[in-house]
Chains A and B, each alone.
Chain A
Amino acid sequence: MAISGTLEAFSLPEVFQIIESGHKSGMLTFKSSSKDLSIDLNGTFELWFEKGNFISIINSLDYQFLINEIIKRGWIDARNLFKTTQLCPTNQALGTYIKQQQLLNESQIDSLFKMQTDMAIKLFNVDRGWFRFEDLEQININTKEQKTFPWSEMTGQKKKATELSLEAMRIFSNWSRFTNEMPAHNCGLQRLINHCNLHFNSLEEYLCNTADGSISLHKIAQKMEVSIERVQRTALSMILAGLLEEVPEVSLNVNMPANNTFNQPSNFTEAKNISVKTKKKSKVSNSLINNLANFLKSNF
Chain B
Amino acid sequence: MEIFKIAVTGNVGAGKTTFIRTISETKVVDTERRATDETSLLKENTTVAFDFGRITLNPEQVLYMYGTPGQSRFDFMWEIVINQVEAYVLLVAAHRPEDFRGARRILTFINQRVQIPMIIGLTHTDCEGAWQKEDIILALGFSANKECPPVVQVNPENPGSVAQSLVVLLEELMSVSVV
Contact = CB atoms under 8 A, between A and B. Distances in A.
A194 B159 CA distance: 39
B97 A10 contact: yes
Interface residues of B, number: 56
Given A3-B131, A285-B178, A289-B174, A300 B162 contact: yes
14 contacts: A5-B98, A21-B143, A22-B138, A184-B73, A213-B112, A240-B101, A282-B176, A283-B86, A285-B2, A287-B61, A292-B55, A292-B170, A293-B171, A300-B163
Contacts of A285: 2, 178-179
A207 to B, nearest CB: 15
Interface of A: 1, 3-5, 8-10, 14, 17-18, 21-23, 181, 184, 187, 190, 192-195, 213, 239-240, 242, 245-248, 250, 276-289, 291-293, 295-297, 299-300
B108 interface: yes
Contact of A277 (B63, B115, B163, B178): B115
Given A5-B129, A248-B74, A286-B178, A190 B61 contact: no
Taking chain A's interface residues, is the majority helix, strand, or loop, or is none over half, making it mixed? mixed
A247 B108 contact: yes
A1 B146 contact: no
Interface of B: 2, 4, 23, 55, 57-58, 61, 63, 73-74, 86-87, 96-98, 100-101, 104-105, 108-109, 111-117, 129-132, 134-135, 138-139, 141, 143-146, 159-160, 162-164, 166-167, 170-171, 173-174, 176-179
B23 A280 contact: no
A291 B113 contact: no
Contact of B163 (A187, A247, A291, A299): A299
A297 B160 CA distance: 8
A9 B178 contact: no
Contacts of A3: 131-132, 135
Given A22-B134, A283-B179, A288-B61, A192 B115 contact: no
A284 B115 contact: no
A49 B174 CA distance: 41
A223 B109 CA distance: 25
A21 B178 contact: no
Contact of B160 (A242, A283, A300): A300
Contacts of B104: 245
B174 A1 contact: no
Q: What are the 7 A-B residue pairs with the smallest beta carbon separation, nearest first?
A: A300-B163, A9-B98, A245-B108, A21-B143, A296-B163, A10-B97, A279-B115
Contacts of A240: 101
Contacts of A18: 135, 138-139
Contacts of A299: 163
B117 A282 contact: yes
Given A248-B74, A280-B114, A22 B159 contact: no
B55, B108, B159, B171: most-surrounded residue (chain A CB, <10 A): B108
B173 A282 contact: yes
A214 B167 CA distance: 36
Contacts of B111: 277
A230 to B, nearest CB: 21
Contacts of B105: 245-247
Q: Which of A23, A250, A277, A282 has the most CB of B within 10 A?
A: A282
Contacts of A286: 174, 178-179
